[in-house]
Amino acid sequence: MLNLRINKISNVPLNQDNIRLVFGLKLKQLRLDKTLSLSDLSQKTGLSISYINEIEKGKKYPKSDKIIALASALDVDYDSLVSIKLSKKLEPISELLQSNILTELPLDLFGIDPADLLEMLSDAPTKLSAFIGTLIEIARNYNMSVEQFYFSALRTYQEMYDNYFEDLEEEADAFLAQFAIPEELILDDKYLADLLVKNYEYEIQFIDEKKYPELVGIRSLLVHRGDKLRLLVSPQLDANQRAFVYGRELGYQYMKLKNRLNTTHLVEAESFEQLLNNYKASYFASAIIIKGNILARKLSEFFEQPYFDADALLNLIEYFHSTPESFCYRLSNILPKHFGISQLFFLRFNNYAGQNRFDLTKEMHIARKHNPHTVRDEHYCRRWVALTILQELADLQRKGQYHYTLCRAQISHYIDTQDKYFVVSFAKPMSPTPNLNVSVSMGIRLDDNVRSKIKFLNTGQISTREVNETCERCPSFDCKERMAAPTVLQRKRKNEAIRKAMTKLSSER
């Protein structure tokens, strides 16, 4: 949990910026507690107002003689003033500073100057401390780990830039040019493995699951043997999954990303940089396997068809030697850039065959927070195609009739809103984990621009279903798929009724 990780590392020495900030925060809080102005403290210590102000903002750290003067003026002992321990009021800020979040999260990615953040902390320490304390308490209540915090930050970073990064596209293009790979050549697992072996001296082997049963379920594992790199891959992966693994390794090597994850199974990232580098390498893999210009051209042809053709879409994924998940992620790069279609969401659900539980394990939203999204402790609408396709897959498996990836499409209309989404879902077993199925879905919010670009949306061929976010929020009381009472909706309506009654009472004479 977040608090456990913070406590675990609380003995790690603060960096110099944070030491200055802690001293400044303590000085300012003590001055305010003594009801002294900057001018008052200046007169008591002989230090200039501007110098004391810079100390309080964490920009300067005074020498010993000046600390003695400050301690005397504030009637505290020297050791207490220079201690990095903050008062109870400022404990949340202390926890934040002693965690690895501020030092490891690259704030510049989000347009935040670290110096500005430190100044904000020094300007209103008590109010910000209360706010930070609230965030930490929320994280604790939801058992949020530091890794989950990093994943959330990474997802926000992707969404800020519409999940399209020109610098990574250019790196992929430069790689293809350096190795003289023709545009029309679609890279497969054998070609990519050969590049790893010949150019980066990789040794590639299958995981020996009999010898190492604890590695069953792990897709890939990189082992360092001196200067040699040994890549172990699961024998359960298909050729397209292996292609992505090899492409990601090429991304790490070509872009010289040193701080990296050696496996993405049950990740416990040591830093945000590791997750960011994994994302960059994964983006690179998608970009060299599914070349942007070719995908845009083929999508234009697909969108011109008079009807939605699931088989044609599956063939397109196979053409690129890709997986449905990688393909959907690549769509999220290409649709905003090449088609001006930016209101998108991506969802991935896991489901054990035969069980009526669906876990949302990955999501991404572009341009806005869309209707289908993570809601804790509630039942996702069983009318979503992302869930019905998993139920269909489990039924086919039970009958022994499953043979290939399923693809289904639906127009979802959210009850009591104007929002409609064109949603395409894919479902298949999640190799190599037994009995675990996965669906990945790409949703596009419908508007005039989308309908003008995707012609088959105007034919009425794709079925429309009334859906909602969760059963707990849904007013459709005759829904046969309902899994729980509309408790959230009922509570909301009760509160509205109380407000109306209070308004009526206040108007009575």
Looking at residue 430, its pLDDT comes to 85
Looking at residue 128, its pLDDT comes to 60
Q: Give the residue-averaged pLDDT of 433-440.
A: 90
Can you tell me the distance from the alpha carbon of 43 to that of 45, in angstroms, rounded to the nearest whole number? Answer: 6
Q: Give the residue-averaged pLDDT of 29-50.
A: 92
Domain annotation covers residue 156: no
The domain in which residue 455 lies consists of 292-493
> Is a pLDDT exceeding 50 seen at residue 12?
no
pLDDT digits (tens, 9 = 90+) for 135-158: 666 566 555 566 677 777 788 888
Does residue 416 share a domain with residue 320? yes
Return the higher-pLDDT residue of 10 and 248.
248
Looking at residue 13, its pLDDT comes to 53
Residue given tokens 């082997």 in the structure block: 205
Domain annotation covers residue 60: yes
Does residue 74 share a domain with residue 192? no
Q: Give the residue-averaged pLDDT of 335-349.
A: 94
Q: Give the residue-averaged pLDDT of 114-119.
A: 60
Does residue 464 share a domain with residue 334? yes
Does residue 213 share a domain with residue 305? no
Q: Which is it for strands 228-233 and 202-206: parallel, antiparallel or unpaired?
A: parallel
Looking at residue 226, its pLDDT comes to 78
Does residue 327 share a domain with residue 277? no
Does residue 117 share a domain with residue 178? no
Domain annotation covers residue 152: no
Return the higher-pLDDT residue of 253 and 16.
253
Alpha helices in 444-486 (DSSP H): 448-453
> Is a pLDDT exceeding 80 seen at residue 285?
yes
**What mean pLDDT, rounded, does the chain reach?**
86
Can you tell me the distance from the alpha carbon of 190 to that of 209, in angstroms, rounded to the nearest whole number? Answer: 22
- Specify the CATH number for the domain of residue 16: 1.10.260.40
Domain annotation covers residue 503: no
Q: What pTM was computed for the model?
A: 0.77
Domain annotation covers residue 151: no
Question: Which pLDDT band, with edges at 50, 70 and 90, does 177 fall under?
Answer: very high
Does residue 320 share a domain with residue 194? no
Domain annotation covers residue 320: yes
pLDDT digits (tens, 9 = 90+) for 293-326: 999 999 999 999 999 999 999 999 999 999 999 9
Length of the chain equals: 509
Domain annotation covers residue 508: no
Does residue 373 share a domain with residue 252? no
Looking at residue 116, its pLDDT comes to 64
Q: How far is CA 30 from the centre of its chain?
A: 40
Q: Give the residue-averaged pLDDT of 36-52.
A: 93
Question: Which pLDDT band, with edges at 50, 70 and 90, does 4 fall under?
Answer: very low
Domain annotation covers residue 505: no
pLDDT digits (tens, 9 = 90+) for 83-112: 877 666 666 666 666 655 565 666 666 666
pLDDT digits (tens, 9 = 90+) for 236-274: 899 999 999 999 999 999 999 998 989 877 556 677 888
Can you tell me the distance from the alpha carbon of 345 to that of 443, in angstroms, rounded to the nearest whole number? Answer: 5
Does residue 439 share a domain with residue 316? yes
In three-state form (DSSP H/G/I as H, E/B as E, the rest C), the secondary structure along 91-108 is HHHHHHHHCCHHHHCCHH
Looking at residue 268, its pLDDT comes to 61
If phi > 0 it is left, if psi is from -120 to 50 it is alpha, else beta; for residue 429 that is beta
CA–CA–CA angle 339, 344, 348 (5° rounding): 130
As a whole number of Å, the end-to-end CA separation of the chain is 55
Domain boundary (289, 311, 334) is at 289
Does residue 442 share a domain with residue 313? yes
Looking at residue 32, its pLDDT comes to 86
> What is the count of structural domains for the chain?
3
Q: Give the residue-averaged pLDDT of 168-194.
A: 96
Instruction: Give percent of the chain above pLDDT 90.
Output: 58
Return the higher-pLDDT residue of 451 and 95.
451
Instruction: Give percent of the chain above pLDDT 70.
Output: 83
Does residue 450 share a domain with residue 325? yes
Does residue 326 share a domain with residue 235? no
pLDDT digits (tens, 9 = 90+) for 319-331: 999 999 999 999 9
